[in-house]
Structure 1
Amino acid sequence: MTLTDQTIASREGEELDTRVIDSYLKSQIPGLSGTPRISQFPGGASNLTYLLEYPDLQLVLRRPPHGHKAKSAHDMGREFRIINQLGSSFPYCPKAYVHCTDEAVLGSEFYVMQRINGIILRSELPAELQLDAQMTTQLCKNFIDKLVELHNVDYQACGLGDLGKPEGYVQRQISGWTDRYEKAMTPDAPQWAAVKQWLKEKQPADHPQPGIVHNDYRFDNVLLDRQNPMSIIGVLDWELTTIGDPLMDLGNTLAYWIEADDPAPVQLMRRQPSNAVGMLSRREFVDYYAERAGIQIDNYDFYYTYGLFRLAGIVQQIYYRFYHGQTKDKRFAQFIMMNKLLEQMSLQIIAKSPL
């Protein structure tokens, strides 16, 4: 069993023209030679990601999905700029090589970056890593440390001060995701009315120290060193990154953090080994984050519930494309059930919350 991400033949309708992409890249990257072998990374449910294997260089190409897309999503130029400029202050970004805005090349804009060849953890912790409970706890803390480190980056110093507007960030996220969810509604989708109202009423003030918000930080978006799996060497998927409230970003990550004692239906959504023996619970996760960030977090119900609602918005946007036949990826057929489960999880949190 290999511990690095494996690719597949491109899915039907998502193939790239090898001749076209090879010709374009050779006009942009000096010294590139040979013909690439192109395959597709099967994971991910948003942008399409491909591996381009040249004899002497491995590249990764990212492009938007086909079909209906949210207006503010899938901005290739923005993601290209972020990883290019952030790399000097947060050395875990892949090197970006080319951003193509000419949609005549592939039918959409795209960008090409370095491949960081590391281990990506999926739903289960691989036995080959031989991590005991103590090592797993340390790996979990290393994962949180990277998030704190990102939130502490001086975004002005790396030229990303105009990436977002921290003032009013919390309010914009609640209203923005409410709007995006409603625009992606399908007849079988839940309304989320009670949760939307609760989030609107309970929203706190913006964090006094805004930072870079990754917006999709989870274990399957980080790369571990193949020689030392305790070490994180890369962070991927910067398409949603902005400047804002770091605690909202914490809520995004908590939405994916499924514990070992969460109910069986919730376990079916798990896509990272957050249930492994030694992994921190959500409460422990928050406490460790607060300790490392030097702040106090008395109650995280709002941020966690926001993260679940936002995740449902992403899930529903993807399901919308499947429902209307804009993608043939059969994984997305079950996303409507995930959406409904996320609503029930949110309602349970609200029912017990002291807020």
Structure 2
Amino acid sequence: MDSQWIDDAVEVRKGEELDLPKVETFLRDSIPGLRGEMVLKQYPGGHSNLTYSVRFENRQLVLRRPPFGTKAKSAHDMSREYRILKALKPVYPYCPNPVVFCDDPAVMGCPFYVMDRIEGIILRRNPPRGWSLSADQVRTLFEKVIETHHALHALDYRTIGLENFGKPEGYVARQVEGWIGRYRAARTPDAPDFESVMEWLLAHQPPDSDRPCVIHNDFKFDNIVLDPADPLRIIGVLDWEMATIGDPLMDLGSSLGYWVEKGDPEEMQAIRTLPTHLDGALTRLEVVAHYSALSGRPVEQFEFYYAFGLFRLAVIAQQIYYRFYHGQTQDKRFGTLIVAVAVLEKAAKRLLALP
């Protein structure tokens, strides 16, 4: 595999710089044996927590911190994310290795943590130039993604010390009501109202899962790292900021929200961020069938979980757009997200046959 396919960091965005001497002093004091000059850059992807590359001569690290500016009250909990990784790493090898957590405001003004980098290929909107997987290989890779997701759901969270990391009872209702509240709070004058979709979700909630588990809540291709030597081998799963204990089918629905397949309308193709359109890729219904066969969990309300996934994705986009609209970020990528919010509302209405 070509090394240019491996994700690399770029110069830090304006307004998101860190105090290098303070960060370096903390890291050298906290991690024994770091050698050589520290080089800090920023990963350009992602719309939520900020992710930086921290390189020393003998170690490659990744630093995660909350975004600058206003943030959701319960989001961006660095301590929680770090503790989840500490608990999961011994039993779920795809996790990054968490190295050190810091909540001393003197270092950065906010909590942050550092983990070892997992170097590999991350697939985004389109495969990198020279990508040469056949349709059969693409299908195999997509099946492995679903299998890796299911492997997380199959863990016994009680035996690894995560029994207090979520409240499974009432999870579906809290999610539906919580995301509705977040959408209304982040709505800007140019955003669609989403009211008919929100009313439908409130009226059609399935019962809570009888087998709650650890859920990732953002399990998608650009959070999955592939082995550069074997692109059909998954070596990492990133971005655990929203992980909790909850309903695995809601987790699957959140993933489906990103899943734009080949036959979807042109406007959906325009907002596609992942390569779920490739020849050989599973359709959403095939994803559900493969997951159901692996887990033994029937998925009887596919429309609900998929509609929830579309709505949740729209809320995430709207929350980020809200920051741009109100001048809380200078990242110009965020200005176009309002288009995606409108397209996602249309997709949800089409799915649910709403006017």
Pair in the same fold by TM > 0.5: yes
One-letter amino acid of the counterpart of residue 84, structure 1? K
Match of 1:179 in 2: 181
- The equivalent residue for 2:118 is 116
Query: Offset at 1:127?
Result: 5.1
TM-score normalized by the length of structure 2? 0.97
Deviates more, 1:13-22 or 1:281-290: 13-22
Corresponding residue for 1:332?
A: 334
Task: Say whether the 8 Å CA contact 2:206–2:301 is kept in structure 1.
Answer: no
Partner of 1:279: 281
The aligned counterpart of 2:133 is: 131
Q: How many residues align?
A: 352
- Give the alignment partner of residue 43 of structure 1, picking from 42, 45, 60: 45
1:126 to partner: Cα distance: 3.2
Contact 1:129/1:229 (CA < 8 Å) preserved in 2?
A: no
The one-character-per-residue Cα deviations of 1:243-267 (angstroms, maximum 9, x if unpaired) are: 0100000000000011011111111
- RMSD value over aligned CA atoms? 1.1
CA offsets 1:53-92 (integer angstroms, 9 cap, x no match):
1000000001000111110100000000011111111111
Give, in whole Å, the separation in 1 of the partners of 2:264 and 2:99. 42
Could you tell me which of 247, 250, 268 is aligned with 2:252? 250
Q: Which runs of 5+ in 1 are unaligned?
A: none
**What's 1:192 paired with?**
194
Letter in 2 for 1:241: A
Say which SS state the counterpart of residue 229 (structure 1) adopts.
strand
Distance in 2, matches of 1:193 and 1:22, equals 48
**Moved beyond 3 Å, runs of 4+:** 126-129
Q: Do 2:217 and 2:251's aligned partners in 1 also have CA atoms closer than 8 Å?
A: yes
Query: Counterparts of 1:163 and 1:203 in 2: how far apart (Å)?
Result: 23
Deviation at 1:299?
A: 3.5
Counterpart of 2:5 in structure 1: which amino acid? L
- Superposed displacement of residue 207, structure 1: 1.3
- Which position in structure 2 is the counterpart of 1:145? 147
Q: Which amino acid aligns with 1:201?
A: A
Identify the match of residue 30 of structure 2 among 28, 31, 54: 28
CA contact (8 A) 1:203 1:302 kept: yes
Q: Which secondary structure does the structure 1 equivalent of 2:61 belong to?
A: strand
Q: Please tell me the residue identity of whatever aligns with 2:284.
A: R
> Aligned residues: percent identity?
50
From 322, 326, 329, the counterpart of 2:324: 322
- 1:253 is matched by which residue type in structure 2? S
| 1:33 shift after superposition | 2.4
SS of 2:230's partner is: coil
Is the CA contact (8 Å cut-off) linking 2:34 and 2:57 kept in structure 1?
A: no
* Aligned 8 A contact 1:22 1:35 in 2: no
Secondary structure at the counterpart of residue 192 of structure 2:
coil
Distance 2:129 2:293 in 1: 31
Q: Which moved more, 1:175-184 or 1:241-250?
A: 175-184
CA distance in structure 1 between the partners assigned to 2:271 and 2:294 by the alignment: 29
Gaps of 5+ in 2: none
